[in-house]
C-alpha cells in the first residue's frame, strides 16, 4: 500500500516515521524540504506537489497546523483534490483512494472537504491523534477515526502502524469533535495543575511529594503524569505551544456554540491562554502558562529529578481497534 504524508512537523514527522518503520511504501511532502531529510534517508520518496502525491498514493495523509493550511493543500491548483480528480477515482483493487485528515481541525470544515473528496472519486476519514509527541514517536499514540465502516476497515492497517489504540468514532467529523473535546479537557487539567502546584508550594508542601500525592490519588491524570513533570523540571517542553492551545480552545468553543451549550469554564481558559500568549509569546511551550502564577506569587514551581522532555519507554506494540462497550 502506497501512502503519502503531507506535514512533517512535531507530530507528523513521527507518525510518518512509524509508517516507514513498519514497512509502508511512503512518499512525503512539507513546505520545508529539510523536514523530510531523515525520512528520505530512511527510504521515503518525495512528492513534487500534493496533486502528484494524490495521483499515485492509495492513501494521502495530511497533518497540518490549521484548518486554513489543510484547505490550501486540498484546494490549491496543485492540491490533493486536483490529483484525485486526475486519477478519476482509480485506486488499488478498484477501491477509491483515501484522504486521511490527521490535523486537529474544525468538524464542519472536515465535512466540507470530505464532500469534495467524494466528488473527486475518493473516500475520506478524519483521524486526529491524542497522547503527546513522545507517544507519536513510538507508535503508541491513540487515534480517533471518523468515517463509514468500509473506509475505516481499509484505513485500519495504516492507522495501527501509527497508533496503539484506534477508535472508530462514527461518521466523518466525529473524530474531530472528540479531538477538540479531549484537548479542551487536557487544557482544563493543565490550568488546574498550575494552581494546585503553586498552592502546594506556598502551603509548605515539598513539590516532589506533591507530585506523587497527585499521581496516586483521585486527582491524577495523563496531563499530570506528563506535563507536570516538564513543568517541575523547568523546561516546560511538551512539544506543544500556546497558539495551538488557543486554536484548540476556539475549535471546542465553536462546537459547543453550534450545539447550543452555555459554556462557563471555557471562556475562563481562553482568557488565561490569551493573557499567557500575550505575555510570553504565542510560540512559548504551553506548560509555561504556570509563569502567570509564579510571577503573581513570587515562587518558582521547580523540583529535582524530573525530565526535561517526555520519552515513551513503553515498547511499541501492534495497534488494534478499541471496541466501544454498549452493554
Residue 314 has a pLDDT of: 87
Residue 327 has a pLDDT of: 83
Residue 212 has a pLDDT of: 98
Residue 94 has a pLDDT of: 77
CA distance 283 to 61: 25
Q: Average pLDDT per run of 10 along the chain, which is 327 residues long?
A: 96 97 97 97 98 96 96 98 84 83 96 97 97 92 98 98 98 98 98 98 98 98 97 97 97 97 98 98 98 98 97 90 93
Q: In terms of residues, how long is the chain?
A: 327
Give the closest residue to 249 by CA, choosing from 182, 324, 151, 174: 182
Residue 122 has a pLDDT of: 96
Cβ-contact 98, 124 below 8 angstroms: yes
Integer-rounded Cα Rg, in Å, for the chain is 21
Residue 90 has a pLDDT of: 62
Q: Domains in the chain, please, with CATH?
A: 2-172 (3.40.50.720), 178-297 (1.10.1040.10)
DSSP 216-285: TSTT--HHHHHHHHHHHHS----S-BHHHHHHHHHHHHHHHHHHT---SHHHHHHHHHHHHHHHH-TTSB
Residue 321 has a pLDDT of: 97
Amino acid at each position: 500500500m502506497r501512502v503519502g504524508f503531507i506535514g512533517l512537523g512535531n507530530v507528523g514527522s513521527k507518525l510518518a516515521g512509524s509508517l516507514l518503520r513498519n514497512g509502508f511504501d511512503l512518499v512525503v511532502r512539507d513546505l520545508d524540504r529539510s523536514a523530510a531529510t531523515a525520512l528520505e534517508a530512511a527510504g521515503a520518496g518525495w512528492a513534487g506537489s500534493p496533486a502528484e502525491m494524490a495521483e499515485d498514493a492509495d492513501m494521502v495523509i495530511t497533518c497540518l497546523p490549521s484548518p486554513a493550511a489543510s484547505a490550501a493543500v486540498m484546494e490549491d491548483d496543485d492540491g490533493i483534490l486536483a490529483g484525485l480528480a486526475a486519477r478519476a477515482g482509480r485506486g488499488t483493487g478498484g477501491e477509491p483512494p483515501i484522504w486521511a485528515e490527521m490535523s486537529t481541525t474544525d468538524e464542519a470544515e472536515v465535512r466540507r472537504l470530505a464532500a469534495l473528496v467524494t466528488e473527486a472519486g475518493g473516500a475520506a476519514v478524519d483521524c486526529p491523534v491524542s497522547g503527546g509527541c513522545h507517544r507519536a514517536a513510538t507508535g503508541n499514540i491513540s487515534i480517533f477515526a471518523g468515517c463509514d465502516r468500509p473506509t475505516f476497515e481499509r484505513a485500519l492497517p495504516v492507522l495501527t502502524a501509527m497508533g496503539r489504540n484506534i477508535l472508530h468514532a462514527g461518521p466523518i467529523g466525529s473524530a474531530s469533535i472528540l479531538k477538540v473535546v479531549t484537548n479542551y479537557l487536557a487544557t482544563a487539567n493543565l490550568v488546574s495543575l498550575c494552581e494546585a502546584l503553586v498552592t502546594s508550594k506556598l502551603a509548605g508542601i515539598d513539590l516532589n511529594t506533591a507530585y506523587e500525592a497527585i499521581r496516586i490519588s483521585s486527582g491524577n491524570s495523563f496531563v499530570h503524569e506528563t506535563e507536570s513533570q516538564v513543568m517541575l523540571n523547568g523546561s516546560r517542553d511538551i512539544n506543544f505551544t500556546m497558539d495551538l492551545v488557543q486554536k484548540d480552545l476556539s475549535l471546542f468553543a465553536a462546537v459547543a456554540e453550534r450545539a447550543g451549550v452555555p459554556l462557563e469554564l471555557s471562556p475562563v481558559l481562553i482568557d488565561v491562554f490569551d493573557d499567557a500568549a500575550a505575555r510570553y509569546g504565542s510560540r512559548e511551550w504551553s506548560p509555561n502558562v504556570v509563569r502567570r502564577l509564579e510571577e503573581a506569587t513570587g515562587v518558582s514551581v521547580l523540583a529535582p529529578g524530573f525530565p526535561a522532555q517526555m520519552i515513551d519507554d513503553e515498547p511499541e506494540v501492534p495497534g488494534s481497534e478499541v471496541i466501544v462497550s454498549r452493554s
